[in-house]
Amino acid sequence: MADTVRVRFAPSPTGYLHVGGARTALFNWLYARSHDGVFVLRIEDTDIQRSSEAMVQGILDGMLWLGLDPDEGPFFQSSFVAQHREAARRLVKEGKAYYDFTPKEGGDDRTVGERIADRARAQGVGKERNPYRDLLVAEALARVEAGEPAAIRLKVPEDGFSAFEDLVYGRQERAYSDIEDLVLIRSDGHPLYNLSVVVDDIEMRITHVIRGQDHLTNTHKQVLLYEALGAPVPRFAHLPLIFAPGREKLSKRKHGEVVSVTTYRDRGFLPDALVNFLALLGWSPGTDQEILSRDELIRLFSLEAVNKSSAVFNFHESDPHDWTDPKALWMNAEYLRAMPIGELAKLVAEELKRAGIWREEYAGDKREWFESTIDLLRARYRTVPDFVELGRPYFSDDFEYEPPALKKNLKDERLGELLPALADRLARIGEFTHESTEAALREFSEARQVKAGLLINAARTALTGQSVGPGMFDIMVALGKEKTVSRLRNAVEKVGAAV
RNA sequence: GCCGCUAUGGUGUAAGUGGUUAACACGCCGCCCUCUCAAGGCGGAGAGUACGGGUUCGAGUCCCGUUAGCGGUACCA
Report the C-alpha gap between A35 and A299 in whole angstroms.
Answer: 9
A128 Cβ contacts chain B strand, under 7 Å: no
Measured CA A331 to C1' B49 distance, in angstroms:
28
Half-sphere exposure of A184 (CA within 13 A, CB side): 32
Rounded percentage of chain A residues whose pLDDT exceeds 70: 96
Evaluate if the CB of A46 falls below 7 Å from strand B: yes
* Max CA separation in chain A (angstroms): 109
- The answer to whether the C-beta of A408 is closer than 7 A to strand B is no
Task: Say what the pLDDT of residue A205 is.
Answer: 97
A51 Ramachandran zone, left/alpha/beta (phi>0; psi -120 to 50)? beta
Q: How far is the CA of A160 from the C1' of B30 (A)?
A: 63
Structure confidence at residue A122 (pLDDT) = 67
| pLDDT tens for chain A, residues 1 to 499 | 568 999 999 999 988 899 999 999 999 999 999 999 999 999 999 887 778 889 999 999 999 999 999 999 899 999 999 999 999 999 999 999 999 999 887 666 667 777 777 777 666 545 678 889 999 999 999 999 999 999 999 999 999 999 999 999 999 999 999 999 999 999 999 999 999 999 999 999 999 999 999 999 999 999 999 999 999 999 999 999 999 998 888 888 888 889 999 999 999 999 999 999 999 999 999 999 999 999 999 999 999 999 999 999 999 877 888 899 999 999 999 999 999 999 999 999 999 999 999 999 999 999 999 999 999 999 999 999 999 999 999 999 999 999 999 999 998 889 999 999 999 999 998 899 999 999 999 999 999 999 999 999 999 999 999 999 999 999 999 999 999 999 999 988 888 764 4
ipTM above 0.90?
yes
Q: How far is the CA of A106 from the C1' of B76 (A)?
A: 15
**Does the nearest atom of strand B lie within 7 Å of A307's Cβ?**
yes
Strand partners, A310: none
Q: Name the residue type at position A285.
A: P
CA separation for the pair A376, A475 (Å, rounded)? 9
Residue A130, CB, strand B, below 7 Å: no
The catalytic residue positions of A are 252
Which nucleotide is closest to the Cα of A311 by its C1'?
B12
pLDDT score recorded for residue A322: 86
Distance A307 CA to B55 C1' (A): 27
Measured CA to CA, the distance from residue A396 to residue A406 in angstroms comes to 19
pTM listed for this prediction: 0.94
Nearest 5°: phi and psi at A166? -85, 135
Question: Do A3 and A234 meet the contact criterion of CB atoms below 8 Å apart?
Answer: no
Q: Closest nucleotide to residue A125 (Cα to C1')?
A: B2
| Residues 334-353 (A) near nucleic chain B, CB < 7 A | 334, 337
- Per-residue b or e along A381-413, where b marks 16 or more CB atoms closer than 10 Å to that residue's CB: bbbbbbbbebbbbbbeeebebbeebbeebbeee
Query: Are A338 and A378 contacting, i.e. CB atoms less than 8 angstroms apart?
Result: no
Q: What is the pLDDT of residue A499?
A: 46
Q: Is the CB of A187 under 7 A from strand B?
A: yes
Nearest-angstrom CA–CA distance, A486 and A420: 9
